[in-house]
Structure 1
Amino acid sequence: MIFFRQLDVFLLLLALPIFIAADQPILGWAATTIAWLGQKVLQAVLERKAAQEDDARRFFGFMAGSLIGRSWLLALTIFAVGIVDRDAGLAAAVLALAVFTCYLVISLIMRAPQNPSERTS
């Protein structure tokens, strides 16, 4: 189970030799990897804080802030890399899209109800 929850990180590690073999800018890989790992840490911290909240508004505030903040962190990183080196920015964006897609699919699979009776309620 842990492997599947961290499949996005494994994909980042797998991407490094692909970037090297395809002669893609390592700056794009490094920026996406650092931003992605940073946003995962931010997600864990904010989800932990949200879980401790008794007030529903503060809970949803933490969760919404986490979603928005993490998205902006990744987007601004890609934008900054693109300003420095256009090719690296494109490589970073493509890698971020692949990693996000992997993360989203795994998240949906892991949160799906296991019991068929849970799906109808």
Structure 2
Amino acid sequence: MLLLALPIVIALDGSLLGWAAGSIAWIAQKALQTFMERKAAQEEDTRRFFGFMAGSLIGRSWLVALTIFAVGIADREAGLTAALLAGAAFTTYLVISLIMRAPQNHSERTS
């Protein structure tokens, strides 16, 4: 999705700095998510498991938000581009996640 957004950013005369910063932040937070999910899966204590997951969610959100903020301070257009890219990436990720987790056969569930 990030690579598909690049030609759109270029066509709309968006900031390449914003695209790069948004892409790096998104990839970094996804890598952090994978690491923390693996770490949490090794935990036998439920509280520690949920602590890892909650900490991961909060930390990853702050990572993306602070990246957008920092780039926006340097260049407002870059901040806007990074924010729009992060929003589009999150929306795409959320929709795909919901589709992938949907029941395979809805009729079996309702019967």
TM-score by length of 2: 0.91
After the TM superposition, which residues 66-81 of structure 1 pair with which residues of structure 2 at under 5 Å, given as runs?
Answer: 66-81=56-71
Quote how far apart the aligned CAs of 1:119 are: 5.0
Which string of whole-angstrom CA distances, capped at 9 and with x for unpartnered residues, describes residues 21-75 of structure 1? Answer: 2211101100000000000100000000111110000000011011111111000
Q: 1:37 aligns with which of 27, 39, 47?
A: 27
> Aligned to 1:113, what secondary structure does the other structure show?
coil
Quote how far apart the aligned CAs of 1:112 are: 2.3
Partner Cα separation in structure 1 for residue 27 and residue 108 of structure 2: 33
Quote how far apart the aligned CAs of 1:110 are: 1.4
User: Which residue in 2 is equivalent to 1:13?
Assistant: 3
Count of aligned pairs between the two proteins:
110
Change (3 A) 1:118 1:84: farther
> Aligned to 2:24, what secondary structure does the other structure show?
helix
Partner Cα separation in structure 2 for residue 51 and residue 119 of structure 1: 29
State the percentage of identical aligned residues. Answer: 77
Partner Cα separation in structure 2 for residue 58 and residue 33 of structure 1: 30
Partner Cα separation in structure 2 for residue 115 and residue 82 of structure 1: 45
| Aligned-residue CA RMSD (Å) | 1.5
Q: 1:104 aligns with which of 94, 104, 108?
A: 94
In structure 2, runs of 5+ residues without a counterpart are none
Amino acid of the residue matched to residue 96 of structure 2?
Answer: I
Partner Cα separation in structure 2 for residue 50 and residue 67 of structure 1: 12
User: Which residue in 2 is equivalent to 1:27?
Assistant: 17
Moved over 6 A (4+): none
